[in-house]
Structure 1
Amino acid sequence: MRTRLQVLLAAVVVALLSGCGGAAPETRELNVFAAASLTDTFTALKAQFETENPGVEVRLNFAGSSDLAQQIVNGAPADVFAAANESTMTTVVDAGQVAGEPTPFATNVLQIATPPGNPKGVATFADLARPDVTVVVCAPQVPCGSATEKIERATGVTLSPVSEEPDVRSVLGKVSTGNADAGLVYVTDVRSAGDSVQGVAFPEADQAVNDYPIAALSSAPQPELAASFVALATGEFGRKTLEDAGFGTP
C-alpha cells in the first residue's frame, strides 16, 4: 500500500511540474532569399533576428538575384526577398509576389579582384581586355553581370571572359583559387575575402551603381515575421551592419 501511494504521489508531482512548465514553443521558420553578395551581412542579420525572436529559425537562401526571382515566381516558399538590383525585384513585383512596395536599403559598386600580389599587374578596367589576362565575370542576367555590361558600354571596352558565373561568390572563387587572373565582383566581396584576393578600384565603377531593394512577399508563410525582418534590415542595426561591410546605405 505504501509503495502504491508513493507511486501515485510521484505521478502527481510530475503532472504538476509538467503543467507549470508548459509545452515547448513551436519553432517557426522564416525563409529569406538574398543576393549572394549579401551572404555575410544577412548571416549577421539572421543571428540578430533569432536573438530578438526566440523560437524563430531564419533559413537563408543565397544565389544570383535572377535565379532567386525565378524561384519565387515559380512558387518557392519565401517570406523575404533582397535583390542586388531593382530590375530583378521588378520581375517579382510584376508577378504580383510583393506585399507593398520594395524598400531600397543598400548600394554597391564593382571592383576588380585579382589573386594576391596582382601577378598580371591589372590597374585599370581596360587592362581586363588585354589578351594575356584571363577574366571571369557574372552572367549577363545576374545584377553584377548587368553592371559589367553597363561599364563596357560606358567605356567602349569589350571584355572576353573565359567564363560567366551565376553569382559574385563564384567569380570570387575562381580568382581566389588562381583559376583566373582577374574577376569583376562587388567591393564588399573583395573586403569579405580578406587576404585571399586583392582589390583594384576603378573610377568607371560609378557608371553602374547597384541599388539593392528588399521586400516582404505577398505569399509569405510568415507575413508578420517577414515585415519584422525587413524592418531589421532597413533599421539602425541593418544599416550599421551593411556599412561595416562596405555597402552604401540610403
Structure 2
Amino acid sequence: MTRSARRTRRTLQVAGVSVAALLAVSACSSSDDSSAKPGSPASGSSVPKLSGAVTVFAAASLKESFTTLGKTFEKKYPGTKVTFSFGGSDSLAASITGGAPADVFASASPKTMKIVTDAKDADGTPVTFVRNQLEIATLPGNPDKIASLKDLTKSGLKVVLCDKEVPCGAAAQKALDASGLKLTPVSYEQDVKSALTKVELKEADASVVYRTDVNAAGDKVEGVEFPESAQAVNDYPIVLLKDAPHADTAKAFIELVRSAAGQQVLTGAGFLKP
C-alpha cells in the first residue's frame, strides 16, 4: 500500500488561513545563505503564501532546538502551526512507513533515514543539516570520578545506554568497539532523552548520550568528553515526506532549519555544522 493510500485512512489536519507572503530572501538569513533555493523569485515578484499545519517527526535530541525553531517559524509566518513528535529515530521511521501523518522527518542517522527512503516515503533527497557527538553524562559533581569510556566498565557502576537500534546507541557501541571495550548496561533505553533521564533521576550513575543533551540538562548532570567519540559522530539528515498536505509550508520549515539563523540555534545547542 502506498503512503498516499495509507494517508487516506487518517484524518488530516488542515488549517486554511491566509498568511504573509513568503519573502524571496529569509529575513533571518544572510544574503549569501547557501540554503536559499536556486531560482528563487526576485524581490518584489509574486510568491506563494504559506498556510496550514506542519507535522515534524524529529529525533529526541532535537527537541529543544526544534521547539525554538518552531516558535520562530510561527512568528515569521502568522497563522501557520508546527507540531512535533520527538522520539527514537528508528521508531519514528517505522511510524512514517506505517502511514503516520507527518510532513517532515529529521533523523539522527542516515541509517534510520534509509528506512523511509527505501519505502519511497521521502519526497526528494535527504540533506544533512547538522552532526552530533557523544559525551558521558554523570551525576552532578561526577562523584564516581569518571574520566574515560573505560571507566564506565568499573564494577558496581550503573550505566545506561540507548538501545542499539537507536542512533545514539549505535554510536555508543561504535565508540566502545573502537576502544576494544565491552560494557553491559543496567538498561537500554528507547531514545537519548530516556537514557539521560535515568541519570537525572539518579537511577543510573552514568550514560552515553549526545553532548547536546548534556548541554540541555544544565546542572542536572555533568558531561565528560572522551576521544573515541570522534570516531562515532552522527550525521542528521532532514527530508520532506510524500503527500504532505502543505508541502510549501513544510519546505519553508526545512529552509529555516538549514538557514544561517537555524544553524545558529543548532550550533548554540552544541550541534556540529554539517
Normalising by structure 2, we get a TM-score of: 0.81
- C-alpha distance in 2, partners of 1:190/1:213? 21
Contact 2:135 2:224 in 1 (8 A): yes
Equivalent in 198, 206, 212 of residue 182 of structure 1: 206
**Which of residues 20, 25, 33 in structure 1 aligns to 2:17?**
25
Where 1:170 maps in the other structure, the secondary structure is: helix
In structure 1, give the amino acid aligned to 2:78.
Answer: P
Counterpart residue type for residue 183 of structure 2 = L
Whether 2:162 is the aligned partner of 1:170: answer no
For the Cα contact (< 8 Å) 2:52–2:249, is it kept in 1? no
Q: Could you list the runs of 5+ residues in structure 2 that have no partner in the other structure?
A: 1-15, 19-50
| Equivalent residue number for residue 151 of structure 2 | 127
Unaligned runs of 5+ in 1: 1-23
CA distance in 2, matches of 1:180, 1:236: 38
The answer to whether residue 183 in structure 2 is matched with residue 159 in structure 1 is yes
Matching residue of 1:84 = 108
The CA deviation string for residues 2-60 of structure 1, in whole angstroms up to 9 with x for no partner, is xxxxxxxxxxxxxxxxxxxxxx9377211000000000100011001101111111101
Equivalent residue of 1:37, what SS?
A: helix
What SS does structure 2 have at the residue aligned with 1:30? strand
Question: Please, which of 40, 43, 55 is the counterpart of residue 79 of structure 2?
Answer: 55
Pair 1:241-2:265 in alignment: yes
Would you say the 8 A contact 1:135–1:180 is kept in 2? yes
What TM-score, normalized to structure 1?
Answer: 0.89
The structure number with the bigger radius of gyration is: 1
> In 1, Cα distance between the equivalents of 2:172 and 2:245?
36
Task: Judging by fraction of residues, say which structure has more helix.
Answer: 1
Q: Which residue of 2 aligns with 1:136?
A: 160
In 1, are the aligned partners of 2:240 and 2:251 still within 8 Å (CA)?
Answer: yes
Q: Is the 8 A contact 2:17 2:52 kept in 1?
A: no
In structure 1, what residue type is equivalent to 2:165?
Answer: Q
Structure 1 vs Structure 2: percent identity of aligned residues?
Answer: 48
**2:161 is paired with a residue of what secondary structure?**
strand
What do the CA deviations read for 1:134-163 (whole angstroms, capped 9, x no partner)?
100000100000001111211110111000
SS at match of 1:43: helix
Aligned-residue offset at 1:219: 2.2
Aligned length: 227
Assess if the C-alpha contact under 8 Å between 1:77 and 1:221 holds in 2. Answer: no
